[in-house]
A and B are shown apart, each in its own frame.
Chain A
Amino acid sequence: MKRVSLHLVAGIVFSLLVATRASAQVARVFLAGTGNDAGDCSNQATPCRSLQGTVNQCPVDGEIIILDNGGYGGATITKSLTVDASAGVVAFIARTITVTIGATDKVVLRGLSMNGVVFGDADGIAFTGGGTLVVENSIVAGFTTAGIDQVAAGSNLIVNNCGFRNNSAGVLNSTFSDTNSNTVIENSRFEHNTAFGVDAEHGTTNVSIRNSVLANNFGGVYAFSASQTQPVLIVVDTCTIAHNSSAGTDADAVAAGIATIRVTNSTVDHNTYGMFLNGAGAAIQSYGNNRVTANTNGRPSSAIGVYTISKGGVHDTSLSPDCRRICFLFCRRYQRFGAGGPGLSHRNRKRRRRLYESGHTVSQPPGGGDGLPGQRRDHHPG
């Protein structure tokens, strides 16, 4: 079969309206390691050099095309745009990208390789504004607070085909607001993060995680709520949650908080705790179609349509007294580890203290979290 090669410089011209002069309207700008921020980046032959420089030149709703391998630095993004690095390019970013946009703005980040270990920044991507952020085909590693830190009330975060490793938290949703923020995670991997792979706390949020692996972290999935007006719900679908050193799934509710994790078609195996619960408003629920095996402790607290176990209480009556003592000792060990770590953010210290305190405080479950008095089943495959 004959083939035709296409090249910008010598070849067939498709377009009628792609700009050929710097002053004409363009929909895309270029970024390359050989570039120079002095220009407007609109010509492939004269790209910009830094991500921030290119962000500045990119039109609203435009696209930044990263042409070659290189380190491009952090940036602050305050308008709708797309950053697009193809799979054939290592677009290396060692510093924080801050996305602080309006509620109707939309930012897409594709194909980035972020590694924050050397410079020690807190967040890989600090999503501090409302609006919608999509992160796909990217690696985010080595940041001391979170790979992605979603803090704005009413914001929407979509993560697809990403790897989060060696951060404190992989993806953190923490808005401190009654206004809901959404997170959708798909086809992603969370590996050896020193806190939780996915952490939703302190703010109303709805999180879904699908077709992802959370392994070898401190914990897999964490839901925390301290207020009835700030409930947290995480739906875990077709995931593998394995080899996490504390809990595969952890629901933590203090005061009148409501923290819920619902698990379907997933495998929770070989964690210290398959499910870890604290507080009357905490629940980890099953659709009856999971595989839960080889965890040292912790069975499901309740299940939708299958179980009628009452919710709540780290005091799971299925645990032996020895297990409760192990829980207390484990959390004491973690508190020492966490509090002594250099460079921890204030929020990280508060989070780790809370984990310690939740293990230290052993409470009786209330009667009938599902309206039934303390009923439980001894064993269920999930």
Chain B
Amino acid sequence: MTACPVNGEIIILDNGGYGGATITKSLTVNASAGVVAFIARTITVNIASTDKVVLRGLSLNGKVFGDIKGIAFTGGGTLVVENSVIAGFGDQGIAQSAAGSNLIVSNSEIRNQDVGIQNASSSDTNSNTVIENSRFEYLNSYGVGGNGGTANISIRNSALANNNMSVFAYTSSQTRPVLIVVDTCTIAHNNRGTDAETGGAGASATIRVTNSTIYHNGDGMFISGAGAAIESYGNNRVTANTNGSTFSGTVLPLQ
């Protein structure tokens, strides 16, 4: 990491364990599909708002050493994580905590920790998260959540199964609304498939669901607090949930 130039690329040549790191500049870490780039410790990405880091092809497994976070995204700027596995950490697979940051996750497996991906900046300034073609499995708390700070999250073409909650939107502040759009996902076998909660006056926590299957959860939708909503575009499949199979309000129009 130290030797990589700014905006440079680290090419991982072979299988092996490479340990954790702190990244403070723009760069790309690139492990090809033919290599197991094994990381058992936290990677901290603490970059400036104009910096961009890309992590490709990593296999993170934190179970043995018990670190809290797989990837701690603590600085602003943009982080892309793709073709990676993040498993076994004490709390979050990816913790996005910087105001104004952008996280993009593609084709990754996130499993076997408390939280998959958390967007929680504790700020009124929005942070974006885009998740695509990924899987969130057996997470003890939730798969994808915006739960402390203004957040706009989209999840597309992903499977979220066997978790406590799969999609979680929470805010206690009117100035920190959370919106999660769920598109073409399978949400199955969770205690709660989708969960929207508010904890303060004027707060807004919304999940909007399109073309998704919410199946065999304890609660398909769990809604708590004024300003909490789980809305449908009228094109979902909701079946075999024990409780909570009703979306909020009227169906959103497709255009």
Contacts and interface: CB of A to CB of B under 8 A. Distances in A.
Q: Do A and B come from one complex?
A: yes
Interface of A: 1-8, 12, 14-18, 25-28, 30, 44, 59, 61-63, 65-67, 80, 82, 84-89, 106, 108, 110, 132, 134, 136, 156, 158, 160, 182, 184, 186, 206, 208, 210-211, 233, 235, 237-238, 262, 264-265, 287, 304
B65 A1 contact: no
B104 interface: no
Given A17-B41, A88-B35, A106-B112, A206 B216 contact: yes
Interface stretch (B5-13, B194-202, B223-231, B245-253): B5-13
Interface in B135-186: 135, 137-138, 157, 159, 161-162, 184, 186
Interface residues of B, number: 57
A184 B188 contact: yes
Contact of A88 (B1, B11, B32, B40): B32
Pairs of residues from A and B, 6 with the lowest C-beta to C-beta distance, nearest first: A88-B34, A15-B19, A61-B63, A87-B33, A27-B64, A27-B40
A62 B36 CA distance: 14
Given A17-B41, A206-B215, A208-B188, A61 B36 contact: no
Contacts of A206: 188-189, 215-216, 240
A27 B20 contact: no
Given A86-B34, A136-B109, A262-B237, A30 B64 contact: no
Interface string B1-35: 11111011111111111111100000000001111
B92 interface: no
Interface in B78-101: 85, 87-88
A2 B159 contact: no
Contacts of A89: 34
Given A7-B14, A18-B18, A182-B162, A59 B3 contact: no
A6 to B, nearest CB: 5
Given A15-B41, A65-B36, A4 B237 contact: no
Interface of B: 1-5, 7-21, 32-36, 38, 40-41, 59, 61, 63-65, 85, 87-88, 109, 111-112, 135, 137-138, 157, 159, 161-162, 184, 186, 188-189, 211, 213, 215-216, 237, 239-240
Contacts of A106: 111-112, 138
A84 B36 contact: yes
Nearest to A156: B162
Nearest to B35: A86
23 contacts: A3-B8, A5-B13, A6-B10, A7-B13, A7-B14, A14-B21, A15-B17, A18-B40, A25-B65, A28-B17, A61-B88, A63-B59, A85-B36, A87-B33, A132-B162, A134-B109, A134-B137, A184-B161, A211-B157, A235-B237, A262-B237, A264-B213, A264-B237
Contact of A84 (B4, B13, B18, B59): B59
